[in-house]
């Protein structure tokens, strides 16, 4: 059987350019993981976790067609700014952030285009903004709603981004410019990563369909070459003159997969899961596969902390030190254009589709994902 990363080897050997790794401080809120799994019928399921150091207060926005959208933000913490304006061509379902209805940080449109914004601290660089705003300027927090509301395919997005600039504009609820990069996938199987860096927007074709956080995407591909030995096949026993040693249990071919939650380690690990997952017949069956993969990147609060808590602090104060933890996870069936959301305190996913609202309506709708008791009695629930 070929090694785990036979596809990955082809990707990294043919698609890389050299990268200078900048030494930069890496902030928190950088533990998001995303991927795509493909079924035998060519149906695709996109999955993603959202980690942050404080509650993102995300709800689900349902944006109809022909809805008027404006990219906006703040300059210097007080001056209101407006940039590009447009009408949505496609209806959109997505997770918003900080009670901002159109600040879509993950979502899918009715054409089956899915996209996510992941933190990119220490490396994101944006164009200078014009104080008066301009039609070709988009705030980073508005980039996904700009993409999902207007385009059907990855190729359309690749062409369209040539005509816009991501600009240095604060997202008021955060009080800063969020450092973001973006993963985008369509029904045909094409995926790209878009990264705003010091020389503009870089676009990478992403045959693996996976992404995490800093550093740059091509650095992660290079780093995968350290793990080409990994395989789902167990290692054979080894004979010695004195006897024979056998592996201890299953999974010895994967010995060396990093288990921490840093972005490079998660990139390697999610690639391992995606490239070895059993291929099912349909995307519907792959929802279960994607859910199991997401479970492996679920970070409980307290596991990743920015600094050691002060022993003199109270327990309640220590909880405010903003450790990264998984706030929600989502999946999207690209062919069916159905979105699935699981909040922090829920074990199951809620689903929402374009049949659940009027895509030709005139108003934006907000849905709050359910946080059901995962351990409730089944007999009581059936009454």
Considering 4, 31, 32, 287, which one is annotated as catalytic?
Answer: 32
Residue-level length of the chain? 383
Question: Can you list the alpha helix ranges (DSSP code H) found in 213-358?
Answer: 217-223, 263-276, 283-295, 315-318
Work out the number of other CB atoms within 10 angstroms of the CB of residue 336.
19
Contact 75, 137 (CB under 8 A): no
Residue 17 designated active-site:
no
DSSP class per residue in 166-223: EB--BBTTTTB---EEEEEE-TTS-EEEEEEETTEEEEEE-SS--B-SSS-HHHHHHH
Decide: helix, strand or coil at residue 381. helix
Burial of 112 (0-12, 13-18, 19+ CB in 10 A): buried
Q: How many CA atoms lie within 13 A of 174 on its CB side?
A: 19
In terms of Cα–Cα distance, which of 45, 42, 39 is closest to 338?
45
CA angle in degrees (0–180, nearest 5) for 288-232-265? 75
β pairing state of 243-245 and 325-333? unpaired
Alpha-carbon distance of 127 to 130, in angstroms, equals: 9
In whole angstroms, how far apart are CA 115 and each of 20, 90, 163, 378? 27, 14, 19, 36
Work out the number of other CB atoms within 10 angstroms of the CB of residue 194.
23
Residues identified as active-site: 32
């Amino acid at each position: 059987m070929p090694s785990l990363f036979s596809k990955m080897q082809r990707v990294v050997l043919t698609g890389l350019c050299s990268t200078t790794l900048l030494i930069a401080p890496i902030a928190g809120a950088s533990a998001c993981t995303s991927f795509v799994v493909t079924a035998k019928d060519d149906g695709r399921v996109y999955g993603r976790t959202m980690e942050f150091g404080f509650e993102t207060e995300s709800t689900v926005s349902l944006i109809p067609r022909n809805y008027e959208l404006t990219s906006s933000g703040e300059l210097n913490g007080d001056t209101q700014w407006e940039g590009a304006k447009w009408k949505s061509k496609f209806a959109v379902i997505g997770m918003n952030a900080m009670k901002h209805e159109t600040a879509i940080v993950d979502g899918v449109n009715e054409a089956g285009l899915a996209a996510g914004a992941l933190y990119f601290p220490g490396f994101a660089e944006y164009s200078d903004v014009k104080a008066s705003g301009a039609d070709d300027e988009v705030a980073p927090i508005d980039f996904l709603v700009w993409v999902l509301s207007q385009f059907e395919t990855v190729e359309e997005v690749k062409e369209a981004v040539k005509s816009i600039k991501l600009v240095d504009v604060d997202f008021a609820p955060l009080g800063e410019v969020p450092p973001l990069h973006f993963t985008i996938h369509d029904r045909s199987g094409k995926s790209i990563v878009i990264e705003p860096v010091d020389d503009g927007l870089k676009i990478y074709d992403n045959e693996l369909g996976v992404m995490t956080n800093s550093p740059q995407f091509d650095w992660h591909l290079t780093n995968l070459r350290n793990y080409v030995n990994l395989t789902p096949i167990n290692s054979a026993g080894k004979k010695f003159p004195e006897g024979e040693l056998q592996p201890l249990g299953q999974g010895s071919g994967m010995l060396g997969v990093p288990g921490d939650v840093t972005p490079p380690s998660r990139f390697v690990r999610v690639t391992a899961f995606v490239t070895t997952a059993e291929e099912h017949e349909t995307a519907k069956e792959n929802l279960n596969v994607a859910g199991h993969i997401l479970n492996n990147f679920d970070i409980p609060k307290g596991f990743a902390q920015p600094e050691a808590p002060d022993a003199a602090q109270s327990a309640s104060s220590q909880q405010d030190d903003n450790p990264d933890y998984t706030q929600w996870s989502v999946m999207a069936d690209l062919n069916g254009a159905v979105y699935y959301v699981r909040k922090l305190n829920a074990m199951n996913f809620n689903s929402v589709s374009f049949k659940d609202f009027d895509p030709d309506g005139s108003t934006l709708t907000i849905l709050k994902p359910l946080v059901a008791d995962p351990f409730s009695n089944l007999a009581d629930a059936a009454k």
